[in-house]
Each structure stands twice: as structure tokens, then as C-alpha cells.
Amino acid sequence: MPYTAPVSEFDFLYRHVVGLDRVTATDRYAEATPDMVTAILTEAGKMAETVLAPLNRVGDQTGARLENGVVRTSPGFAEGYRAIAEGGYIGMSADVENGGLGLPMAVTTAVNEMIGSACLSLQLNPLMTQGQIEALEHHASDALKVLYLPKLISGEWCGTMNLTEAQAGSDVGALRTKAEPNDDGTYAITGQKIYISWGDNDFSENVCHLVLARLPDGVPGTKGISLFLVPKFIPDAGGAPGKRNSLGVVSLEHKMGLHGSPTAVMQYDGATGWMVGKPHGGMAAMFTMMNNARLGVGVQGISVAEGAYQHALAYAMDRKQGRSPVDGGTGTIIDHADVRRMLAQMKAETFAARALALDNAVSIDMGHATGEEAWKARAALLTPVTKAHGTQTGIDVSQLGIQVHGGMGYIEETGAAQFLRDVRVTAIYEGTNGIQAMDLVARKMMDGGAAMFALLDEVDETAQQGDHAGLAEAAKSLRSATQTLVAMEMNDRFAGAMPYLTAVARVLGGHYHLKASLAEGGTGPRSRLAQVFLARLLPEAHGLLAQATAGAADLYGLTAEELSA
């Protein structure tokens, strides 16, 4: 599937919407000059367009398979992975002392989006490794860091995360995997994990699994869980992959999409592992990786949205059907108002979600660079919104892409359906979108809404600069709804959590679009796109906030029997 990397769009957002200059003005990221960033994005974009994009359809049609216990990846994936690794794109934000480039997460986020747009099935692999790198940087012993980080950063080795078990699902605390201490300071890991993305491959020297397990003295629930690094091959004294560990792939899941990404059931039979972090502190260590992945998975949704939009736009500009309703039209279906509406919505939604993800990444970078709690709180607040809304945007835009194609969108040969099949699982990855929404109205509101109110102050300033009453009114409604939620019982908050999160995304989307319009002086193409979002999508916030503050009584008014009737 052809793909054009939106490098100029990233550049515009960096300069005019999310303020990357604040990041590069810090000592930590001073070397990430605008010229360097543009050069990196340009080269990554070329790789995505020429090397990775041709693999997208290949991976869908010839997916990964398990043969006699060995995972065989899709044709060309080994070469595609090698291009990603050799380009240095896996360790872009990793510490320089371990072989990383030390670049801002905002730059990594853009590169990850382009790789995901080109071939999401393959991009899942380096995304998991990036998360493991961050977890090890923060929580591993010096010995583990020295041994594993350079290999993971270079791409010689790959990383995974092993949380889910069949009986536990999202209730991670119900896991049964055990960790028994060995005499040499290692642990014997025994249990089975499911849904392990890229649990194995045939192109890296080693696969390193971060596995949640319970020590013999671990209490029930999440507080008794520890985290262990369990490699496929146990490294020897020189760091080379040595003896095969006692773990393996039981089977690969048969999935709706992402056929090129092997999703494994992993079995550990007394496998040798090393503890990462403190005993019974596994969830804290794993959340470092999960938060990294939540931003990354939100970006995956945006990746697919961009790909689906480009695919639908090309079809609409080529497909001739009916008479053009406009003078001087092209004669193709892009002349029709409803098709134009869908394409405009797809583009506006993708722009807003991309700006949200980059704003989130900038907040993470500023938190790292300055240590200021306000930036850390801002990043924490934006993370569940980015994950949930980014993935939902991917789903919504992909569905519209099928609709633009009409009947041909339902035919697999056109490729339109693959976008929806591939992106659908991202709303489930790394904590379902409902869990993200509950996190937003619970943990992220433990400050009484202070972080949200600070964010809304920014929106108010933009609305004032743009003299936009609609955005100002939406921000006011969101502020009021936040105050109402904070005062509600928790289950009443949960009942409205998802519409609340979507309303937050709508208001922030209006904020980003208006900032873009202001940067153009109100006359450029992004200004006209902003008019679409502000007039057609922002008003949805008011209805969503009515749902968000409705409480849970009506939902529980229906009995289980009545729901079954």
C-alpha cells in the first residue's frame, strides 16, 4: 500500500502547536536542533515509504506461523526490522550511555507513527522493545543494564512484556505464574502467559521477556507481584546468547488482523529469570513500560488513521461515479458532499489526535528535563486520553475509509478493510479504553482536578486569542463537569468515564486546531480544516459531558434479567 510520510505536518506541529522548542531549550535535549530533527524524520519517512510500506499487505496475506516450535515471520519482515534497527530508531530516546541517541520522546513519537502507518504489524516489535528499555533504565540492576540495554537498543535483541494470563485478563493481580528463588540469585519462573505480542521471531539473536510472577511470600493481588527478566537464551559471560532457557511458544493466536505480528501463548517451565526492581514491586516497574506503551499504542491508532485516510483519499480522487454536483468538479466521488464530509472528518480527527500525542510526548520530555511536578502531572493526565482517543480515532477513521470505498471497501482486495482489522485491537491493548477512562476520572483526579484545570487554562487562553466563543464555552462546560465528577462517588464517575474522556479529547482537539489556525493567520489549509473540526466535532463535547455527569443509577436500573430479555 503506498504511503507518504507527513514530515511537514510534524514540523508544523512542533513549531506552532506543541512547542518542541521548549524541550530543545533544556540542557538535556539541547542537541536536538530543528535541522537534526527534520533530517531524522525525513530519513525515517523515506524508510517507511520505500522499505516498510510494501510489507504491510504481505504481512496481512502471509502472516507469522509456528512450525515445530519455531516462529516463522512474514516475508520481508527480517529485512524491514533490520532497516529499523540499523537506522537507530529503536533506541532513539534511550540513554546515550547505553548506546541510545537520547532524543526527545516527541521525536520518537513521530518516527513511531510513520513506521506504524507503513506496517503496523512490524512496528509492534520495536515498540515493545522501547518500553522494555525504559523499564530497565529505571528499575534494573547495573549488571542487567550493562548486559541487556546495549543489545536491546541496537536491535540485536528484542523485548516483550508478559502480563496477561487466561484466567486473569485485565485483573493482573489474579495471575498464577510463580517465581522460586534459586541458590545463585536467579529465579525459576513457571507459568503460562497469553497475548504476548512478538513473543518470538526468527530474525533477532535473542528475545528478552519481562514477566510478572509471584514469589512464594507474595501476598494475593497486585501488591504481591514481582517482575523478572527472562531471556530466550541465557547470555554467557561475554554477553553472547548461550544456553536455551526453559521457555517456549505454545501456539500463535488466530487474529482478526495484524497477521504479520506473532501473538504468542508463552510457557515457562522453571525458566531462569532475574528480578527487575524490588521484591513485590513488579507492578511499579511494569507500569514504566506500560505507560510508555500506552503512548505508543495511542500513536499506533493515529498511524492507522493516517494510512486509512491516504488510502481513502486516493480512491476518492480516482473513482468516477455519478454526475458531479459542483461546477468545475473532478468528475470523481470527491466532488460529492458526503464523501467530502467523511474525508474532511478523517483528516481533522487525525490532526487532532496527532497533536494530542505530540503534546503528551512534549510533556513527558519536559518532565524528564526539568523534574517539575507540573509537567509530570500534565503528562500523566494526557497519557490515558492519548491512548484511548488515539486508538478510537484509528478505528473511526478506518471505518470511514471503508465507507468512502463503498462496496469495494468490504472487498479485501482493495486493502481498505485491513486498516480496521489491524487497528481494532489497539483499543484493547495496554488496558482497555474503558480502563484508561476510569484511570482518568479516578487516579488522575486525586488532585481534585488541578491538572485538568491547569490544562483548561491553556485552552481558555487559545480561545481568547482566537476569539472563539465555541471553544471557550466547551472549555467552560468541561471545567464544570470536572468539578461535578470530582464530587461524585467512584462508580458514578466510572459510568461516565468514557464520554468524559472523549469530551476532553474533543476540547483539546479544538484547542490544537485553533492554535494551528492562528499560526496561519486564519487563511491557510489548516485554518480551513480547523473550521471543520470546530464547527462539526467540537460541539459533541456538550452532549458527551451530559452523559459523563449522569451517574450510574440508570445503568443499574436495568436488571441482568432485563438486559437478557
Q: How far apart are CA 350 and CA 348, in angstroms?
A: 5
Q: How far apart are CA 544 and CA 259, in angstroms?
A: 35
Residues 6+ apart with CB under 8 A from 217: none
Q: How far apart are CA 64 and CA 71, in angstroms?
A: 7
Amino acid identity, residue 428?
I
Q: How far apart are CA 59 and CA 46, in angstroms?
A: 20
Burial class (CB in 10 A: 0-12, 13-18, 19+), 335: buried
**DSSP secondary structure string for all residues of 184-236:** TS-EEEEEEEEEEET---SSSSEEEEEEEEE-TTPPSSGGGEEEEEEESEEE-
| Residues 197 and 249 sit within 8 Å (Cβ to Cβ) | no
End-to-end CA gap in the chain: 46
Q: Between the CA of residue 527 and those of 89, 403, 466, 481, 506, what are the distances in Å?
A: 33, 26, 11, 29, 17
Q: Between the CA of residue 365 and those of 104, 153, 299, 434, 451, what are the distances in Å?
A: 6, 19, 16, 26, 17
Amino acid identity, residue 142?
D
Burial 105-142 (b: 16+ CB within 10 A, else e): bbbbbbbbbbbbbbbbbbbbbbbbbbbbbbbbbebbee
β-bridge mates for residue 263, sequence order:
197
Percent helix, percent strand, percent coil in the chain, to nearest 5? 60, 10, 25
Q: How far apart are CA 408 and CA 369, in angstroms?
A: 49
Q: How far apart are CA 487 and CA 346, in angstroms?
A: 36
372 classed as catalytic: no
Closest CA to 158 of 60, 72, 91, 66: 91
Residues 6+ apart with CB under 8 A from 62: 74, 75, 259, 260
Q: How far apart are CA 207 and CA 158, in angstroms?
A: 5
Closest CA to 436 of 234, 295, 267: 295
Which of 134, 137, 165, 430 is catalytic? The answer is: 430
List the catalytic residues: 430
